[in-house]
């Protein structure tokens, strides 16, 4: 084999490895960016950063209508979670919250009448105040309402609703009506920007109100909950998920429990490839909200992105194995050469020593033969 041919083959191997590594790194980077686009899935990490005494885990329960999970069920669920945390001897500093939760239900579409541009059909969502903490919406202006507000007629609207009702996003304090009930804008949030979230968020203007306000709109007590979420301490692995599972044991047949924290990790996505259909087709009669649909699609995509990223490393892996084999063979060859060389040296030393001993023996014999007889 000529030198030019060897050189050409070497360059081809180097180029193939470089392309494979660049492709794999690009896929891992795209996976990281895709994961980070799902802002609703990182509440535990954000809470941990503020409360560094503990690690935290985000848990979600998506509940079917037949479960009849309502605001009256909250005391039982919260009581179980609190007891499990107390039994684990987990304590926080005084006046700091150890954990928090949120709950949500989509009421439906209603006509909202603004004071500037008229009316538009909007999706109305009932939430508690901590819903906004957990879902990490970007606040354009104003503030989120709280469960402790004396007035329960505040609403958080997205920028799409603000423009359709008022022609501006700077509308904090302005009023609109739904079913002849007045509401005041406490804050305006930005609609999700990532491709996956936009797809499931939809184009309808969105309004978020308290459960008390929801009862006013429909004319009777509104208590349905389709999604319950919590950020819980994680002193040991799987403590939060086991606690959450215990709390929802009575609703296990009609609910889907998700551990949001670390759901996009390489380890979990590779493990999920064995049962990838579970990321797409729900096994229980549950309707997922937009953020969970976006997260499940992201899980599905990440599983294959990570798989292709690994497959792209096959060529470098084979190259490394071939090099290691060649190095091992070279090592054994050099070892044999060294061993033979040492053996030759030892043989020469022994031969020289043997010859020297023979020479001394011969000299002694000559001397003995030359001595006169007494």
- Rounded to an integer, the average pLDDT of 51-78 is 90
Distance of CA 125 to the CA centre of its chain: 26
SS (H, E, C) 66-81: HHCCEHHHHHHHHHHH
Beta bridge partners of 311: none
Tokens of 54: 């503990």
Burial of 99 (0-12, 13-18, 19+ CB in 10 A): buried
Q: Residue 364: its pLDDT value, please?
A: 64
Q: Residue 207: its pLDDT value, please?
A: 96
* Cα 100 from Cα 129, distance rounded (Å): 11
pLDDT above 70 (res 321)? yes
Mean pLDDT of the residues in the chain: 87
Tokens of 130: 């901590």
- Rounded to an integer, the average pLDDT of 143-171 is 89
Beta bridge partners of 84: none
> 0.85 cut: is pTM over it?
no
Q: Residue 362: its pLDDT value, please?
A: 65
Domain boundaries, the chain: 42-262
* Cα 80 from Cα 101, distance rounded (Å): 13
Region of poorest pLDDT, from 116-130, 217-231, 346-360? 346-360
pLDDT above 60 (res 279)? no
Beta bridge partners of 60: 229, 258
pLDDT above 70 (res 373)? no
pLDDT in tens, 124-148: 999 998 999 898 889 999 999 988 8
Nearest to 80 by CA among 224, 255, 248: 248
pLDDT over 90, % of the chain:
56
Beta bridge partners of 109: 123
Region of poorest pLDDT, from 112-116, 158-162, 208-212, 248-252? 112-116
């Amino acid at each position: 084999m000529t030198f030019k041919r060897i050189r050409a083959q070497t360059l081809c191997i180097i180029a193939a490895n470089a392309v494979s590594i660049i492709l794999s790194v690009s896929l891992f980077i795209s996976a990281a960016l895709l994961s980070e686009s799902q802002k609703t899935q990182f509440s535990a990490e954000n809470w941990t950063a503020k409360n560094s005494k503990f690690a935290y885990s985000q848990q979600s329960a998506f509940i079917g209508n037949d479960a009849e999970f309502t605001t009256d069920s909250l005391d039982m669920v919260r009581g179980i979670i609190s007891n499990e945390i107390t039994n684990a001897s987990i304590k926080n500093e005084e006046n700091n919250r150890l954990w928090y939760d949120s709950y949500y239900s989509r009421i439906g579409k209603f006509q909202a009448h603004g004071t500037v541009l008229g009316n538009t059909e909007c999706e109305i969502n009932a939430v508690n105040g901590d819903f906004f903490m957990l879902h990490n919406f970007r606040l354009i202006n104003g503030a989120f309402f709280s469960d402790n507000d004396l007035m329960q007629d505040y609403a958080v609207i997205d920028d799409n609703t603000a423009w359709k009702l008022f022609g501006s996003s700077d509308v904090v304090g302005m009023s609109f009506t739904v079913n002849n009930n007045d509401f005041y804008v406490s804050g305006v949030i930005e609609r999700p920007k990532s491709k996956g979230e936009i797809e499931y968020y939809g184009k309808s203007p969105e309004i978020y109100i308290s459960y008390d306000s929801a009862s006013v709109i429909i004319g009777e007590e509104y208590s349905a909950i389709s999604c319950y979420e919590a950020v819980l301490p994680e002193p040991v692995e799987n403590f939060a998920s086991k606690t959450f599972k215990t709390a929802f044991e009575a609703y296990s047949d009609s609910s889907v429990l998700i551990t949001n924290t670390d759901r996009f990790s390489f380890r979990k996505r590779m493990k999920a490839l064995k049962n990838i259909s579970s990321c797409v087709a729900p096994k229980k009669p549950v309707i997922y909200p937009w953020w969970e649909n976006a997260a499940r699609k992201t899980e599905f995509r990440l599983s294959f992105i990570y798989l292709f990223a690994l497959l792209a490393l096959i060529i470098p892996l084979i190259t490394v194995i071939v090099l290691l084999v060649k190095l091992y063979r070279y090592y054994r060859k050099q070892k044999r050469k060294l061993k033979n060389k040492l053996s030759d040296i030892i043989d020469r030393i022994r031969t020289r020593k043997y010859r020297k001993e023979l020479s001394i023996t011969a000299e002694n014999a000559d001397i003995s033969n030359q001595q006169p007889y007494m």
